[in-house]
Structure 1
Amino acid sequence: MNSDSRLLKDLFNSFKPDMPLEPGDTRYVDCNSVRGDEDVTRELGGYITKDENNTYQLYSGHRGGGKSTELKRLRKYLEDSGCVVVYFAAATEDAGDLSFQDTQYQDILLSCTRQLLEKLKDRADSSPIQNWLRDRWKELIDLALTEVSLDKLDLSVALSQLAKITAAVRTEPNKRREIRKLVEPNTESLVQALNEFIRNAKSTNNRIVIIADNLDRIVQTQPEEGAPTNLEDIFINRSELMRGLDCHIVYTAPISLLYSTSSSELQNIYGKIQILPMVMVQSQDGSVWESGMKKLRIALEKRVSYVEERELVPQIFDTEKTVQLLCFSCGGHLRDLMHIARDAVNQTTQLPIPEKAVKRAITKFRRGYMEALRESEWALLLKVHETKQRLNEDAYRNLLNKRCILEYCFFDDDDERISWYDVHPLIRGSKLFKERWANYQTANHES
């Protein structure tokens, strides 16, 4: 393997898109100034460290926009401030406690139970949770979730049983339904047991914080027309349980829910809603936003220097034009940036990476967005591109949820937060969009 091949392989892995960065990672880039000037440590952390009562906050944004990396920064900030933090990714592609496709509030409560017990087992008496399990031991045996005799129930067994329960919730639909039937009439007693456990832990530290990440990946379902969706049931109808634990909690939530007509109700329940917007790569008039593009260029530089000290241009990419094309095409969405860069590396056998490889990577990645569009949504896309705004309707929220339209924000000269929207550059760069945009302009001009 020659030196270029080795470096390309290392770059391919350094551009890994689904890997949140840990606090202190040299690849991290502070993008707050180009996405609304809102720091998660101040906006969420400030409330936690200052409020004498428990806080229950929601955090959202486009999937892949960097929420997990920011929440890991929040965890470090809170730990440095003396808090005990229980951070967990409630669901990932191949692990976690929840099923993306089918999640209800009982599942989240069980996940919090397991994570709290695991994190705080050396800080507090776990008997309240052990007793809760003990009282339901026969049901667990009937569900084939345990073969352990009741007299052997101790902390290690309790953790093992909770792990089996949450694993079944994630992977076995039939058992998932039965576990929910078991938990449903016993949620109040489980919350009481958890709070007793938490209060025991507070004897050594009075600020315990749960950060439940990846709940924004829950797929919205609706049992029947006119009924509340599962998201509304979890975050609104069951909010007393979601706010029932005697500690601070940060929940991630799907962006589609926070932009729905339930927004004011959610704000009434959880306080101000924190949403992480995209890195601004353009202004509302379509011109390049240089400060945002610079941040994305730095992100690429840091991924390169992480594996080897090389100049981004011309040693890794052939020209600045190629780098600018790569950065602009992602629309300020960091995961898309890494996906496209990674595929461009894969297209390349010898450095520097040429513009042709980036263009081909863009074309291939564009397909996912184009296939996600329904014919009925094209008129909405064109309207958003024209006005840089969206209407508060389900169809627009669906486009936002699919990242076909992206949100940007900044503070104007009067310190007012301005949010605006545009079609993802990958869609705008397609021949089909350009044709439809030209026809749209012609039709509007003639009318």
Structure 2
Amino acid sequence: MPTNPSANSETDPLRQLYKSLTGRGALPLDPDDPYYVRILQKTPEKDPILMLWQRLDWSEAESVHLLTGFRGNGKSTELRRLKALLERQSGARVFLVNMADFLLMTKPLELSDFVLSLMTALGQAVERETTLTALTHSYWERLQRFLTSEVKIEGFELDLQAADAPAKLGLRLKNEPDFKQRIQQHLRGHLSRLIADAQDYVVSLVTALRNEAGNPDLKVVLLVDSVEQIRGVGTEAGEVHDSVVDLFSGQAASLAFPLLHLVYTIPPYLLALAQNLGRTLGGHPVVSWPNVHVRSRDGAEDDAGLAIMETIIDKRHGNWRDIVPPAMLRQLAICSGGDLRDFFRLVGECVIALRTARLAAPTASLSEEMLKRVEEQLRNELLPIAEEDARWLARIHASKEASLPTTEALPALARFLDGNLIMNYLNGEPWYDVHPLLVDEIRRFLPTEGRS
């Protein structure tokens, strides 16, 4: 097979562009990262992160705030911007934890294992970022005595002398379904004690941080990322969704902690079933982080949003136009629906297609045929769609609302949201639409006036 030695060179432009979209380039970014782009910089009054920052900045004592958004649309990056704002503008002490490292995301949740996972995540962050290791270990010692002596959970053994004790507990909660289930079963009659111990630990932690800083009013904030990734799979889907609703609605009071300000990310489907959730948990409106506005409600292309998508690539590789013609990049941005993860995948696969073509023809350029193959590849991942689902998606496309016909339909709506079949935007007010690559698939189910 013909080869091109430059393809293996670190200076190869195609390789550079591809690498900027994968690996580190696909991870959440800090606001001072050279790749970072402020998506809503021209409309700060619509910026959900600025709204969250302002509420947190003005909140006293303790507070709870909720942030929702789709996986892969930049929400974790924006939480890092919120952290920077709180630290630089508000003088707060902020911990950011990734609950994907501590939760088994496809099994039903209970208050017991969620709080235990939350304290595990917080404890690991405290031990990593502060000198308060002794305080944290004291909490683990009390917890271990409580769970082994009083609750009598077999197999709950922590090496309290090990620096990574919280991390090991987190791994067990995430990777061992039987262990998680034992925790749930044994703690159902001991929840008040578990919550009280967690609250005492948080109060001790905040007090110690304030003493260390010499500031009795120091604001301590915990940003809880990736909770929105909890999703039901297979026969347990309904049970998982019900457990999330019960946790954030029925058990809401136990998710607030004295002296601590919290931001929880929550799954988008939760809003469809737990009405007025913001009032129940924290008293603040739920904040949504939208996709980039590459299209308007009427289906027209949004030039401002498409320019942002171009800027995102420009930050990563200034010579991208020599690889992907601007008109083709615009087409890929439209096909992505403003979802950054899909956008990076589409651009990256175009680069792979071009490199493959150049193995045989070194002067080959990106063609419309390559573009269509890449789009078809992503479309096929979203298919097949059952006829009943197609009818519902058609209604969403026509109404721009992700309405829930019955509570029994929640697993289907969650599946649409988790699978990126429908997307959330914020042009004036929140609205939804199907993935652009699915419009042709559901067109025959549209009302006559919506088929243009």
Give TM-score, length-normalised by structure 1. 0.83
Q: Which of 113, 123, 144 is the equivalent residue of 2:155? A: 144
1:297 paired residue number: 310
- Tell me the SS of whatever aligns to 1:406: strand
**Contact persistence 1:86–1:210 (CA under 8 A):** yes
- Which runs of 4 or more aligned residues in structure 1 lie more than 6 Å from their structure 2 counterparts after TM superposition? 221-228, 442-445
- Tell me the SS of whatever aligns to 2:224: strand
Q: Which of 152, 164, 167 is the equivalent residue of 2:168? A: 164
What letter is aligned with 2:18? Answer: F
**Contact persistence 1:90–1:215 (CA under 8 A):** yes
Q: Deviations over 1:4-58 (max 9, x none)?
A: 5533223222112741112211111211158995334421111112111211011
Moved more, 329-338 or 377-386: 377-386
Q: Does 1:402 align with 2:419?
A: yes
Q: Deviations over 1:301-337 (max 9, x none)?
A: 22223xxxx1x32x111x3321121111001111110
Q: Does 1:252 align with 2:265?
A: yes
2:433 paired residue number: 422
Moved more, 120-129 or 343-352: 120-129
2:123 paired residue number: 117
1:190 paired residue number: 197
Identity of aligned residues (%): 22
Q: Deviations over 1:80-104 (max 9, x none)?
A: 232111111110xxxx111111233
Question: Separation in 1 of the partners of 2:373 and 2:42?
Answer: 28
Q: Does 1:21 align with 2:29?
A: yes
Question: Separation in 2 of the partners of 1:14 and 1:330?
Answer: 18
Q: CA RMSD in A?
A: 3.1
2:112 paired residue number: 106
- Tell me the SS of whatever aligns to 2:68: strand
Map 1:10-409 onto structure 2 (within 5 A). 10-16=16-22, 18-32=26-40, 38-80=46-88, 81-91=90-100, 96-102=101-107, 103-121=109-127, 122-124=130-132, 125-126=135-136, 128-136=138-146, 138=148, 143-146=154-157, 153=160, 156-157=161-162, 160-184=164-188, 185=190, 186-198=193-205, 199-205=207-213, 206-220=218-232, 229-258=242-271, 260-270=272-282, 271-305=284-318, 310=319, 312-313=320-321, 315-317=322-324, 319-349=325-355, 350=358, 352-371=365-384, 373-393=385-405, 395=409, 397-398=413-414, 399-409=416-426
Q: Deviations over 1:186-207 (max 9, x none)?
A: 3134224313422332323521
**Contact persistence 2:252–2:280 (CA under 8 A):** no
Question: Separation in 2 of the partners of 1:29 and 1:224?
Answer: 36
Change (3 A) 1:316 1:201: same
Question: Separation in 2 of the partners of 1:339 and 1:165?
Answer: 34
**Contact persistence 1:277–1:407 (CA under 8 A):** yes
- How far has the Cα of 1:223 moved from its partner? 7.4
- How far has the Cα of 1:352 moved from its partner? 4.4
- How far has the Cα of 1:253 moved from its partner? 0.4
**Contact persistence 2:102–2:121 (CA under 8 A):** no
- Tell me the SS of whatever aligns to 1:382: helix
2:361 paired residue number: none
Structure 1 stretches of 5 or more lacking a match? 412-417
Q: Deviations over 1:228-270 (max 9, x none)?
A: 8111121112212211353011111000002x13121443323
Question: Separation in 2 of the partners of 1:443 and 1:293?
Answer: 24
**Contact persistence 1:85–1:208 (CA under 8 A):** yes
What letter is aligned with 1:343? Answer: E
Change (3 A) 1:329 1:197: same
Change (3 A) 1:356 1:25: farther
**Contact persistence 2:64–2:261 (CA under 8 A):** yes
- How far has the Cα of 1:376 moved from its partner? 0.2
Change (3 A) 1:177 1:245: farther
Change (3 A) 1:55 1:217: same
**Contact persistence 2:65–2:286 (CA under 8 A):** yes
Change (3 A) 1:235 1:220: farther
- How far has the Cα of 1:179 moved from its partner? 2.5
Change (3 A) 1:320 1:130: closer
| Number of residue equivalences | 415
Moved more, 351-360 or 7-16: 351-360
- How far has the Cα of 1:435 moved from its partner? 5.2
Moved more, 342-351 or 71-80: 342-351
**Contact persistence 2:106–2:240 (CA under 8 A):** no
**Contact persistence 2:293–2:305 (CA under 8 A):** yes
